[in-house]
Structure 1
Amino acid sequence: MITLRGLNRALLHRQLLLERSDLTVPDAVDHLVGMQAQEPPAPYYGLWSRLRDFTPDSLGELVADGKVVRAPLQRATIHLVTAADHARVEPVLRAMLRRRFTSSPFRAVLAGLDPDELVREGARLLAERPRTRPDLGRALAERWPELDAESLGHAVTYLLPVVQLPPRGVWGRSGQAVWAQAARWLGAVGEHEDLAGFVRRYLAAFGPATVKDVQLWSGLTRLKDVLPGLGLRVLTDETGRELYDVPEGPLPDPDTPAPVRFLPEFDNVLLGHDDRTRVISTEDYRRGIVIGGKATLLVDGFVNGVWKLAQGLDVQVFRPLTDAQRADVLAEGERLLAFAGVGGEVRIAA
């Protein structure tokens, strides 16, 4: 049996949040099985909280060079992965991405359209040049003028393996989301679907976890009969739920000190489980900060506030801090300001 605090410390350890790691940026991104990146700066703050001596350029240069890419992957949301890992992750999720399109609001306005024909035409247009979704949609509407151009553009980015090109996602730069075929930008796409390896990698970075946890994080379904056959360790939590884990997965002492951490919007630890109480209480989840995409503050391993940069650092805490915790929040906040290159001071409010 593993307690709630035991699950918390296991998650923080595997997410590199109990102690900053000396992993390289590519190795850290691979270990995390990608990073949620719908907000372009988020992976930079996420890696700053996880890696020792991390600088924005150490990730920005990899994005600019195409060694790390932004693509729709887990849950059909934009994730940051290494180019090599895209070939491992995308094939596992390819069918799910297509299913997500069939349940999206865009599918209804394309009734009767052959998806394979749309994919072929989208691939042809993206082979001419990378395009924004509106540009892609307008070009597709020339072939299907009776259909909604916006829906056509979205459809191709669900149905065809694609990536977003820099400068989108490069620190200190901005740019529209410009899409290219993954095969052309990366040289190839993966063809081998290693579901078992994918699940084990999730557990190594997020476990122990239930089947529902794996499904919610990935967007995959029907895994109930998959996990029992993978030779995994089985634990139970305080409510009696069955959790799976890789046999070598570390389980730190529940009383291991957890440092203050500032996490970006939609950080991995907040989106990796169906039951998020291992890192955020039900009360705090109901504040809408996860779905609403607010940057969060961890104190003693659990969410206890939100933060934003604006002429300094504004921190709103949900529960009173001890003197020692307040000092830690101020110290880590000063380091965050220095990393972000923002002047001003750290302000803590209830």
Structure 2
Amino acid sequence: MTTQVLSTRTLTRTLWVRQQLVPGHRSVTGVPALVEHLLGLQAQDNLPPYLSLAARSDGFSPADLSDLIEDRTLVRFFTMRGTVHVLTGADALALRGWVQPALDRVSGSNQTSRPAAHLTTAELDAVVRPLLADGPRPHTEIGQALAAVHPDVPEEALRHVTRERLPLLQVPPRGLWKRSGGVVYQYADRWLGRPFAEADVEALVLRYLAAYGPASAADMTKWSLVTRLGPVFSAMAKAGRLVEYRNEAGRPLYDVPGAPLAEEDLPLPVTLLGMYDNVFLSHADRDRIAPDEARKGWMGANGGVGNALFLDGLLSGTWRLEDGRVATTLFRDPTKAEQRGLDAEVTRVQTLLAS
């Protein structure tokens, strides 16, 4: 049987639909369900999760996220790709153990963490666990306590390695809407009052594909940093749990059986997202969302140079706030229809940020 070839336009539009970014084509409602469906929201900074949800949910109010972080329904946790994500409590408790070997690799190669690389996780935990027994503590205090026990190690390295090795999540007010607050940590299981769980890897593959597919094992590794997923995909496909397609370059892509594919002519909205959003950070082959030239325009020496702007489903510019107004920089000239869409999107985002 001939394997179906999917065009890049089909992959782009399918990704946007599965990411709940196309009004009229949304199948997931409610903030907790959206966060669960997307397997977390990139939250390196405070604002991007709010932008992510506002673009994916009709009638979203910042309180819809902020209140759920405050009541512990959602948490801010260091997980995929070694970055902070907003996650459901259940996903936080399962995903951290799954990505921990990847975080250990990051920790071992990170220049800031390297002076503390000789310390074991048990040695770090022996200091931090009793310190947090009576409640969350600021990251600075955790670093000071570790430095008192390990005076030969720079305190910055101790602080950095702690969040990589120990399952500490950021507690409120960090991440609340327009609320200031430094980084304060507590063990995730203590904060949530539930034990850590072992991840069901095959279930994670199906969930990843439902939100980001069709995709490859390399794509899922890009999203998570977890390696050796190829045999999992192959075994699931052989057992009939995945279907296989090909992209225009002939590379295999896998998907959830029966998952719908978008039409090539599906109109996509002009969309403003944060500097980092998983929609364009979760594939090894990013042609469907952020071609090379666009990424060069977005990427600076130390990361993104601005928030992400999308035209026709592709990264096409950046935006920033100037005196409370959205200022855009486009990588190409928009069509008249795209300009109208951009004007409306700028108004939407400005209204959100003023709320």
Separation (CA, whole Å) in 2 of partners of 1:165 and 1:139: 19
Residue number among 12, 15, 19 corresponding to 1:15 in the alignment: 19
Equivalence map 1:235-274=2 (5 Å): 235-274=245-284
Equivalence map 1:8-47=2 (5 Å): 8-19=12-23, 21=26, 23-47=29-53
Separation (CA, whole Å) in 2 of partners of 1:217 and 1:293: 21
Opposite residue 262 of structure 2, the aligned amino acid is P
Structure 1: gaps (5+ residues): 343-350
Partner of 1:321: 334
Change in 2 beyond 3 A, CA 1:218/1:78:
same
Change in 2 beyond 3 A, CA 1:111/1:316:
closer
- 2:66 is aligned with 1:60: yes
Aligned positions, number:
342
Q: Secondary structure at the match of 1:122?
A: helix
* Structure 1 residue 197, shift from structure 2 partner: 1.0
Equivalence map 1:143-292=2 (5 Å): 143-230=149-236, 231-289=241-299, 291-292=303-304
Residue number among 293, 296, 301 corresponding to 2:313 in the alignment: 301
Tell whether the 8 Å contact from 1:91 to 1:193 is kept in structure 2 after alignment.
yes
Tell whether the 8 Å contact from 2:36 to 2:87 is kept in structure 1 after alignment.
yes
* Structure 1 residue 107, shift from structure 2 partner: 4.4
Partner of 1:340: 353
* Structure 1 residue 112, shift from structure 2 partner: 4.0
Residues 71-129 of structure 1: per-residue CA shift (max 9 Å, x gap): 00101100000112212322322332233222222443135433322222222222243
Tell whether the 8 Å contact from 1:98 to 1:158 is kept in structure 2 after alignment.
yes
Residues 290-325 of structure 1: per-residue CA shift (max 9 Å, x gap): 831521111111122111122321112111122221
Partner of 1:310: 322
Deviating beyond 6 angstroms after TM superposition, the runs of 4 or more aligned structure 1 residues are none
Partner of 1:347: none
Q: TM-score, normalised by structure 2?
A: 0.92
Q: Select between 117-126 and 287-296 the one with higher mean Cα deviation.
A: 287-296
Opposite residue 63 of structure 1, the aligned amino acid is I
Q: Select between 93-102 and 276-285 the one with higher mean Cα deviation.
A: 93-102
Q: Secondary structure at the match of 2:181?
A: coil
* Structure 1 residue 67, shift from structure 2 partner: 1.2
Residues 266-311 of structure 1: per-residue CA shift (max 9 Å, x gap): 0111101111110122111112438315211111111221111223
Q: Select between 73-82 and 149-158 the one with higher mean Cα deviation.
A: 149-158
Separation (CA, whole Å) in 2 of partners of 1:74 and 1:188: 21
Opposite residue 309 of structure 1, the aligned amino acid is L
Opposite residue 318 of structure 1, the aligned amino acid is F
Tell whether the 8 Å contact from 1:217 to 1:273 is kept in structure 2 after alignment.
yes
Opposite residue 320 of structure 1, the aligned amino acid is D
Opposite residue 93 of structure 2, the aligned amino acid is A
Opposite residue 109 of structure 2, the aligned amino acid is S
**Identical pairs, percent:** 37
Q: Secondary structure at the match of 2:132?
A: helix
Separation (CA, whole Å) in 1 of partners of 2:18 and 2:254: 15
Separation (CA, whole Å) in 2 of partners of 1:299 and 1:244: 26
Q: TM-score, normalised by structure 1?
A: 0.93
* Structure 1 residue 261, shift from structure 2 partner: 1.0
Q: Secondary structure at the match of 1:27?
A: helix
Separation (CA, whole Å) in 1 of partners of 2:117 and 2:353: 47
Separation (CA, whole Å) in 1 of partners of 2:30 and 2:284: 29
Tell whether the 8 Å contact from 1:232 to 1:244 is kept in structure 2 after alignment.
yes
Partner of 1:48: 54
Structure 2: gaps (5+ residues): none
Residue number among 138, 146, 162 corresponding to 1:132 in the alignment: 138
Opposite residue 261 of structure 2, the aligned amino acid is L
* Structure 1 residue 132, shift from structure 2 partner: 2.6
Q: Select between 78-87 and 107-116 the one with higher mean Cα deviation.
A: 107-116
Separation (CA, whole Å) in 2 of partners of 1:57 and 1:2: 39
